A and B are shown apart, each in its own frame.
Chain A
């Protein structure tokens, strides 16, 4: 039988994959993809906890996480386009302009 722990383990694994992506990536667009993975992993954990404790709050929080992710993408992509117009690249290392 599939219990809460199964879902929490899969959620933790997906979160770890997303975190590895965030640590590893130097391209800003790829960094955004990794944050989406992390948000989705958290959503699975919330929905699973809500289901196994017979509570709807978990699903509610998952909805708000989705709303936040949508607005994050809208603003983030606008900023990415501005950075690309300014620098011609999306590399994180090129943004380090404050070197002494």
Chain B
């Protein structure tokens, strides 16, 4: 009973919050809704008995990723509404829905008739984090190390990409671009005279 109530509550909450994220014009609203949606998603994980995954979801997504987005937004002007030239909404809904359906069919079709057996069942009497740790550091050790290397590469890439020319203020750049466009127009006029 309580499981059903929790499931439907989390479902409605995630769908509403992610709809706000996907269709809001304001970056700040979209980001806050996304962060709240992530918290609700971790509720699904706790319902499914994946306690450690839920905790990781809260720490990594809500803690790290959304904080990174919040810091990134400080570089961009987040207060003004995003102006977008949108195609018709019905076309978008139709395309998005049909592609999602197609992807689901592609991935479900091969395994629909297959008899799936559990290869790594959770250990008897062990809590979820214990069995997760045991499987992760025995059966999935190489993917784990590769993921660690990938995170290191991503960290270096992030530092190099974002750290370049950090001494220049981003708010001055729009003026610089406007000035350079004016210069280009003057140059074009000179070319025309020739």
Contact = CB atoms under 8 A, between A and B. Distances in A.
A60 B14 contact: no
Interface in A19-74: 19-27, 29-30, 32-34, 36-37, 40, 43-44, 47-48, 50-51, 53-57, 59-60, 62-64, 66-74
A84 B31 contact: no
Contacts of A48: 44, 48
Contacts of A80: 72, 76
Contacts of B23: 21, 24
- Which of A53, A77, A79 has the largest number of chain B CB atoms within 10 A? A77
Interface in B80-121: 82-87, 89, 92-93, 95-97, 99-101, 103-104, 116, 118-121
Given A2-B7, A14-B14, A47-B48, A81 B155 contact: no
B60 A70 contact: yes
B75 A57 contact: no
A15 B98 CA distance: 11
Given A6-B7, A56-B131, A85 B173 contact: yes
Interface of B: 3-4, 7, 11, 14-15, 18-19, 21-23, 27, 30-31, 34, 37-38, 41, 44-45, 48-50, 52-53, 56-57, 60-61, 64-65, 68-69, 72-73, 75-76, 82-87, 89, 92-93, 95-97, 99-101, 103-104, 116, 118-122, 131-132, 135-136, 139-140, 143, 147, 150-151, 153-155, 157-162, 164-165, 168, 170, 173-174, 177
Contact of A63 (B53, B69, B165): B53
B119 A57 contact: yes
A88 to B, nearest CB: 5
Contact of B173 (A15, A47, A88): A88
A50 B124 CA distance: 16
13 contacts: A6-B7, A23-B95, A25-B22, A25-B84, A26-B86, A32-B69, A33-B22, A47-B48, A48-B48, A56-B120, A71-B153, A71-B155, A74-B157
Interface residues of A, number: 68
B114 to A, nearest CB: 12
